[in-house]
Amino acid sequence: MGAIEIELDPLPCRWCQKLIKQPRWWRPKRHCSRWHRVKSRLTEALASVLELL
Ligand SMILES: [Zn+2]
């Protein structure tokens, strides 16, 4: 057919390990929802703060 098809493996959510289908190969999703991304960011921020203390 000549069309370029890029197969993407579903990535697990960093928060709940749920597999996420990747609709866009140029911007992989690492979290299944916005809320999980927020939670993940908050814990990362908290961890870095705790390291500084
Ligand atoms: Zn999740």
Domain range for residue 43? 12-20+31-52
Phi/psi for 24 (5° steps) reads -125, 115
What separation in Å is there between the alpha carbon of 48 and the centre of ligand 1? 22
Does 40 reside within a domain? yes
> Is residue 6 one of the residues assigned to a domain?
no
What's the pLDDT tens digit per position in 2-52?
A: 677 777 889 999 999 999 999 888 889 999 999 999 999 999 999 999 999
Using pLDDT thresholds of 50, 70 and 90, give the confidence band for residue 53. Answer: confident
In a domain, 48, yes or no: yes
Q: Is residue 4 part of a domain?
A: no
Question: Would the pTM of this model clear 0.85, i.e. be above it?
Answer: no
Q: If you measure from the C-alpha of residue 16 to the centroid of ligand 1, how many angstroms do you get, rounded to a whole number?
A: 4
DSSP per-residue codes, 1-53: --------PPEEPTTT--EE--S-TTS---SSSHHHHHHHHHHHHHHHHHHH-
pLDDT reported for residue 34: 96
Domain count, the chain: 1
**Per-residue model confidence (pLDDT) at position 49:** 96
